Amino acid sequence: MLKGKTAVLAVTGSIAAYKIPNLVRMLTKLHCDVQVLMTQNATQFINPITFETLTGRKCLIDTFDRNFQYSVEHVALAKQADVVMVAPASANVIGKIANGIADDMLTTTVMACTCKKIIVPAMNHNMYHNPIVQDNLQKLARFGYEIAVPDTGRLANGDIGDGRMPEEGVLFQYLMKEIACEKDLAGKKVLVTAGATREALDPVRFITNHSSGKMGFAVAQAAMRRGAEVTLVAAHTDIAPPLFTEVVPVVSAADMFEAVTSRAADTDIIIKAAAVSDYTPVTTADQKIKKSDGTFCIEMKRTEDILKYLGAHKQDGQFLCGFSMETENVIENSRKKLRSKNCDMICANSLRKEGAGFGTDTNILTLITADGEIELAKMSKEDAAHRILDVIILMMKRAQQKQSVSSPPAEES
């Protein structure tokens, strides 16, 4: 995924430096070229040989290293970089960069880079909240640096507070957001629904389904990495939502209807991947329903059809994509849904196919549009999400081209 990309990791003097080798390993597994820079103080916490072994590259410390192929031309490295992350970023180095001080390989290279630069503060709680440090961070943010939000927890000195560097998995997501994908959805607002709604019978019991939310979360993450501003309306799931999305938690179908319809008008693309209950109990008991002999009947009523509402109120130029989980007549039922709900595309799959359906990490989809069908092979839900977005982007471009041809500019008088 990251073949041909170069990430520069700038490591400063902090105990949190021990997390960076695992971050390097995560990047190199995706064939990313990783170049590590270290301050002299950082070498007191971790040996440069560790990074050299993992990256296959010399770890750079001294600006005037005559043995390095770039010699003092740190600008050459800066030209190669697709992203720079200063992690851990000490208060000292944050202050240097914020005030234009470049006195070693790390600071000179960071300042020479024109790519995206991410600062990951790591320090004591009181030091992090020092007004001078905060002022330096705000200054960097004004100049276009992205400032990672530190975690809250036990710090190296035993104190509890914020200033703790996020785990390497989070840092990895910051980097993936920047370099994993072409930003072909930049400027677009995307709304994705995911998860299983729950319809309460009483304070203890509810009616739901087996949806894990994995497909919807994969779509939201893919859209975010492609540059979109993503709102994720999430019902129940057992997994963490993707970072860098606006998550709107909901419980019931009624909650989801309100959350989606109130945001729909201001959205370019809506992708309804959630498994929404079609029926809800007519009444919900205030107390736990006690068991008794004989049968127990639940009177149900239809929930609001969110997809149908969206289709009926679709904005000009808006793209509406639904999902269809079937156990029989997959194409026929899904195409009927496409027409009746006024969708632009339906992503259909069958619960009967191995590797598709609820709870799996893979999916087998057929993308159904008014013009035809695209059958996707079994693939990860992450890959399937990108294929869905590929088709959506292509269809939107064609629609825009068609509109521009049919509506030529007015002649000047």
Distance of alpha carbon 394 from alpha carbon 375, whole angstroms: 16
Q: Which of 160, 179, 198 is the C-terminal boundary of a domain?
A: 179
User: What CATH number corresponds to the domain at position 104?
Assistant: 3.40.50.1950
Residue 411 maps to a domain: no
Domain shared by 160 and 269, yes or no = no
Residue partners of 408: CB distance under 8 A and separation at least 6: none
Q: How far is CA 78 from CA 66, 187, 401, in A?
A: 18, 27, 39
Distance of alpha carbon 60 from alpha carbon 253, whole angstroms: 55
Q: How confident is the model at residue 348 (pLDDT cuts 50, 70, 90)?
A: very high
Residue 409 maps to a domain: no
pLDDT of residue 64: 61
Domain shared by 216 and 353, yes or no = yes
Mean pLDDT of 132-154: 95
Residue 408 maps to a domain: no
Which residues are paired to 36 by β-bridges? 9
pLDDT of residue 409: 63
User: What CATH number corresponds to the domain at position 311?
Assistant: 3.40.50.10300
Residue 109 maps to a domain: yes
Instruction: Give the chain's domain count.
Output: 2
pLDDT of residue 355: 85
Domain shared by 171 and 200, yes or no = no
Residue 407 maps to a domain: no
Residue partners of 77: CB distance under 8 A and separation at least 6: 8, 35, 60, 70, 109, 112
> Is the CB of residue 175 less than 8 Å from the CB of residue 116?
no
pLDDT digits (tens, 9 = 90+) for 268-306: 999 999 999 999 999 999 999 998 888 989 999 999 999
pLDDT of residue 62: 73
Q: Which of 136, 153, 179 is the C-terminal boundary of a domain?
A: 179
Mean pLDDT of 40-68: 86
Decide which of 1 and 389 is more confident. 389
pLDDT of residue 312: 97
Domain shared by 332 and 201, yes or no = yes
Angle at 297 between CA 291 and CA 298, to 5 degrees: 105
Indicate which residues carry an active-site annotation.
209
Domain hosting 379: range is: 189-402
- pLDDT at residue 131 is higher than 60: yes
Q: Whole-structure pTM over 0.85, yes or no? A: yes
Domain shared by 323 and 275, yes or no = yes
Residue 333 maps to a domain: yes
Residue 97 maps to a domain: yes
Decide which of 167 and 356 is more confident. 167
What DSSP letter does each residue of 89-125 carry, written as one string?
E-HHHHHHHHTT---SHHHHHHHH--SEEEEEE-S-H
Domain shared by 282 and 134, yes or no = no
Q: How confident is the model at residue 376 (pLDDT cuts 50, 70, 90)?
A: very high
Domain shared by 255 and 163, yes or no = no
- pLDDT at residue 65 is higher than 90: no
Nearest to 357 by CA among 215, 196, 207: 215
- pLDDT at residue 63 is higher than 70: no
pLDDT of residue 259: 98
Decide which of 390 and 151 is more confident. 390
- pLDDT at residue 185 is higher than 50: yes
Residue 410 maps to a domain: no
Mean pLDDT of the chain: 93
What DSSP letter does each residue of 198-232 carry, written as one string?
-EESSSS-EE-----SHHHHHHHHHHHHTT-EEEE
Residue partners of 262: CB distance under 8 A and separation at least 6: none
Instruction: Please state, for a pLDDT cut of 70, what percent of the chain lies above it.
Output: 95
Q: How confident is the model at residue 413 (pLDDT cuts 50, 70, 90)?
A: very low
- pLDDT at residue 70 is higher than 50: no
Domain shared by 175 and 193, yes or no = no
- pLDDT at residue 252 is higher than 80: yes
Domain shared by 73 and 212, yes or no = no
Domain shared by 154 and 221, yes or no = no
Q: Which of 138, 160, 179 is the C-terminal boundary of a domain?
A: 179
Mean pLDDT of 396-400: 93
The residue assigned the tokens 């995706």 is 30
Decide which of 126 and 69 is more confident. 126
Domain shared by 227 and 311, yes or no = yes
Mapped onto helix, strand or coil, the DSSP state of residue 127 is helix
Mean pLDDT of 170-183: 97
Distance of alpha carbon 87 from alpha carbon 171, whole angstroms: 9
Mean pLDDT of 353-367: 90
Residue 33 CA to its chain's centroid (Å): 22
Domain shared by 83 and 145, yes or no = yes
